[in-house]
Amino acid sequence: MKKKVGKKRSSSANSKKPIVTNDIRVANLTKSFGTLRAISDVSFTIQPASITGFLGPNGSGKTTTMNILLGFIRPTFGIAKLNGHKMSPDSTAARREIGFVASNTALDNNFTVWRELKYFARLSGKKVKNDEIIYLANKLGVDLKAKIKKLSSGNRQKVALLIALLGKPKILILDEPTNGLDPLAVAEFKLILQDLRSSGTTIFISSHILSDIEDICDNFLFIRDGRIVTHKSKAELLALSPTIVTLDADKVSDIVYAVKNAYGDKVKIEIPESGGLYLTVRSGNDINPLIKSLSKHKISNLQIRPESLETVFMLFFKPDSRNDDDEIAKAYQILVQGAEDLRKAKKATAKEAKK
């Protein structure tokens, strides 16, 4: 009886293929430019079908990290994997599964928007239907017949976004994507990103303006001086922030006395010119005893909310005695001034409304 001999597998069949996961995995990334260390020992994992905000002051290492993720530059040390692919300048095939907006997308001034988009679609190897291009262009308010050279900086940025969105990429890497966009375009762009996340796309988006992306992000990654300082979910970050309690009361002085007596410096008390009471409960303190205390008084319009993520952002990037970096100090002062201006504007609006 003849013994059956199985077919020998070819070496190509045994070769390992990247496991498609739609995630981003970074381990010990370090990049130096001569004597300048841009990023140091950067490690993180971005889960599939999520939107992660990558935040830090200018010069903190965001763009360098992004360029390594996209394979534009090689790290001095460490590894970056997107969708199972190790990224490098040779990762042409891997980039076909990725949509990206770099810090300066080169566009051909002699092309129309339509021709530019068709060109990039062919270049990437993605199967992009004309209907998809028309749909996305209408969403962002882009004239497909317009010449690139006649576009404003904001509209050029919209074209860069359209290029990134073509073919419904598995992973989106976006470096400051809302630069130059009007508020309506920003709002529409956020809706597009949320739809992509729902369909499984993993989105990694950098910004130094928290308000542009905070409402759509599931998680946040903070970088400072080329090092990751925290990687947390939105809920975890909000838990680090103070709690704001606002209310109206007939006898504000009685409530102020009761709160001071019970909480001391754990609660900051403010009495706005527009009336009522503004309480800030410092992070880490239980809010329930305060609510119980307030229930003993005649109050109305009680509102409880966490302080903004901007407050948490400032906590991580506030200059301290161990770091006198001028750039970070300036960024912090800008954030503080912005928050103060916003509060003054709200007070002025409330006062004007009562007239």
**Domain ranges (residues) in the chain:** 24-237, 242-307, 318-355
The predicted structure's pLDDT at residue 354: 56
Superfamily designation of domain 242-307: ACT domain (3.30.70.260)
Q: Is the pLDDT of residue 8 over 60?
A: no
Phi, psi of 179 (to 5 degrees): -55, 125
Q: Is the pLDDT of residue 136 over 60?
A: yes
168 compared with 13, residue with greater pLDDT: 168
Under the banding of pLDDT at 50, 70 and 90, the label for residue 332 is very low
CATH no. for 24-237: 3.40.50.300
- Ramachandran class of 85: left when φ > 0, alpha when ψ lies in -120 to 50, beta otherwise: beta
Q: What CA–CA distance (Å, rounded) separates 87 from 84?
A: 9
Mean pLDDT of 102-127: 91
The predicted structure's pLDDT at residue 347: 57
Average pLDDT, the chain: 85
Strands (E) across the chain are located at 24-33, 36-46, 51-55, 77-82, 85-86, 98-101, 171-175, 202-207, 219-224, 227-233, 243-249, 267-270, 277-281, 299-306
The predicted structure's pLDDT at residue 11: 46
The predicted structure's pLDDT at residue 25: 97
Mean pLDDT of 315-327: 55
Q: Is the pLDDT of residue 316 over 50?
A: yes
The percent of residues above 70 in pLDDT, for the chain, comes to 84
93 compared with 187, residue with greater pLDDT: 187
Q: What CA–CA distance (Å, rounded) separates 217 from 174?
A: 13
Q: Is the pLDDT of residue 309 over 60?
A: yes
| DSSP structure string for 177-241 | TTTT--HHHHHHHHHHHHHHHHTT-EEEEEES-GGGTTTT-SEEEEEETTEEEEEEEHHHHHHTS
Q: Is the pLDDT of residue 1 over 80?
A: no
158 compared with 353, residue with greater pLDDT: 158
Tell me, what amino acid is at 48? P
Q: What CA–CA distance (Å, rounded) separates 166 from 304?
A: 42
106 compared with 313, residue with greater pLDDT: 106
Residue 214 tokens read as 């905070």
The predicted structure's pLDDT at residue 300: 92
100, 299, 141: which is closest to 91 by C-alpha?
Answer: 100
Q: Is the pLDDT of residue 253 over 70?
A: yes
Taking only Cα atoms into account, the Rg of the chain, rounded to an integer number of angstroms, comes to 26
The predicted structure's pLDDT at residue 307: 82
Confirm if 38 and 32 have CB atoms less than 8 A apart: yes
Mean pLDDT of 150-172: 96
Under the banding of pLDDT at 50, 70 and 90, the label for residue 127 is confident
The percent of residues above 90 in pLDDT, for the chain, comes to 57
CA 214 distance to own-chain centroid:
6
Q: What CA–CA distance (Å, rounded) separates 270 from 247?
A: 11
This prediction has a pTM of: 0.76
Under the banding of pLDDT at 50, 70 and 90, the label for residue 184 is very high
Q: Is the pLDDT of residue 315 over 80?
A: no
